[in-house]
């Protein structure tokens, strides 16, 4: 069963088609990876799906169109996202940030305090709840942003370049957290990332886009061996 269907999505800025008639499906429960060169339209795609940009085409979530919905409406349907650069209330503590997310979600019957406590433990922020987020290192800021998205109780979590700027150890830790989110919580993940090793390890399927269009989609090991993918993105190997 598909949880998300993107149908001929086009996003133009003047004469430039940042996303050009792009279509794909995300299966319920999978980890769907997206990669492509800088400027290929990856973040624009996320911004379109989550209501930050108007677009032509259609986006269907759980069988219903969400085209034209604003970001808060998309979130209330069950889609949450993170950003390349942590988006936080920097003068507020970790706990206050998570309270905003939990309250915003308006999930009927969900105890906000219990929800937050569970997520804090799940991602490994226990003991840091009262630290002002501007005082956190990059890794903990990214964890807080991720936790904030999770407080909305999403069915689909869209993650934009989660490991940029992290050390190899922190990258490994993030990988394990995403695996837990998917396997233990049953949340479908769509992940944009440049580091191909990370994507091939975490993704069930991988899509490569270039100039706003899809050039490959399939199993990661197969996609990364396709000549057109190597030519436009990998530069000769999967370590790119």
Residue 237 has pLDDT above 50, yes or no: no
**Domain termination site, one of 104, 122, 153:** 153
**Domain termination site, one of 108, 138, 153:** 153
Band of residue 238 on the pLDDT scale cut at 50, 70, 90: very low
State residue 106's pLDDT score.
63
Q: Which residue has the tokens 């830790």?
A: 173
CA pair distance 238, 240, nearest whole angstrom: 5
Q: Which residue has the tokens 């370049």?
A: 161
Q: Could you tell me which of 129, 72, 125, 126 has the C-alpha nearest to residue 97?
A: 129
Q: Give the number of domains in the chain.
A: 2
- Give yes or no: residues 137 and 184 share one domain: no
Beta-strand relationship, 2-13 and 16-27 = antiparallel
Domain containing residue 206? 1-78+156-240
71 within a domain of the structure (yes/no): yes
Q: What is the mean pLDDT of the chain?
A: 92
- Give yes or no: residues 74 and 171 share one domain: yes
Mean of the pLDDT values across residues 57-75?
Answer: 96
Of all residues in the chain, the percent with pLDDT exceeding 70 is: 94
Beta-strand relationship, 205-210 and 213-218 = antiparallel
CA pair distance 143, 84, nearest whole angstrom: 12
Residue 109 has pLDDT above 80, yes or no: no
User: DSSP per residue over 45-77, as a string?
Assistant: HHHHHTTSS--EEEEEETTEE-TT--HHHHHHH
- Give yes or no: residues 141 and 163 share one domain: no
193 within a domain of the structure (yes/no): yes
117 within a domain of the structure (yes/no): yes
- Give yes or no: residues 131 and 173 share one domain: no
- Give yes or no: residues 15 and 119 share one domain: no
State residue 38's pLDDT score.
85
83 within a domain of the structure (yes/no): no
Q: What DSSP character marks residue 133?
A: G
Q: Could you read off the pLDDT of 161-184 as tens digits, one per residue?
A: 999 999 999 999 999 999 999 999
CA pair distance 8, 121, nearest whole angstrom: 40
- Give yes or no: residues 168 and 127 share one domain: no
**Domain termination site, one of 107, 137, 153:** 153
| SS3 state at 171 | helix
Q: Could you read off the pLDDT of 10-23 as tens digits, one per residue?
A: 999 998 999 999 99
Mean of the pLDDT values across residues 185-198?
Answer: 93
- Give yes or no: residues 129 and 197 share one domain: no
Band of residue 231 on the pLDDT scale cut at 50, 70, 90: confident
User: Domain containing 209 — which CATH number?
Assistant: 3.40.50.300
- Give yes or no: residues 177 and 129 share one domain: no
- Give yes or no: residues 64 and 121 share one domain: no
């Amino acid at each position: 069963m598909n949880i998300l269907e993107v149908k001929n999505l086009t996003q133009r800025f003047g004469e430039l088609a940042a996303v050009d008639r792009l279509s794909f499906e995300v299966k319920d429960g999978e980890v769907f990876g997206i990669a492509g060169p800088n400027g290929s339209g990856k973040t624009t795609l996320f911004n379109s799906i989550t209501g930050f940009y108007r677009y032509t085409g259609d986006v269907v979530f759980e069988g219903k169109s969400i085209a034209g919905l604003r970001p808060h409406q998309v979130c209330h349907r069950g889609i949450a996202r993170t950003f390349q650069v942590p988006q936080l209330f920097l003068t507020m503590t970790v706990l206050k940030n998570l309270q905003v997310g939990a309250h915003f979600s308006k999930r009927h019957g969900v105890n906000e305090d219990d929800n937050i406590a569970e997520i804090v433990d799940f991602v490994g922020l226990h003991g840091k709840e009262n630290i002002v987020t501007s005082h956190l290192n990059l890794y903990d800021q990214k964890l807080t942003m991720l936790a904030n998205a999770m407080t909305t109780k999403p069915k689909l979590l869209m993650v934009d370049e989660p490991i940029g700027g992290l050390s190899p150890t922190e990258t490994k830790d993030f990988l394990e957290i995403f695996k837990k989110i998917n396997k233990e919580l049953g949340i479908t993940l769509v992940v944009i990332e440049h580091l191909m090793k990370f994507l091939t390890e975490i993704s069930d399927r991988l899509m490569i886009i270039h100039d706003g269009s899809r050039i490959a989609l399939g199993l990661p090991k197969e996609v990364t061996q396709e000549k057109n993918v190597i030519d436009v993105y990998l530069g000769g190997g999967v370590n790119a």
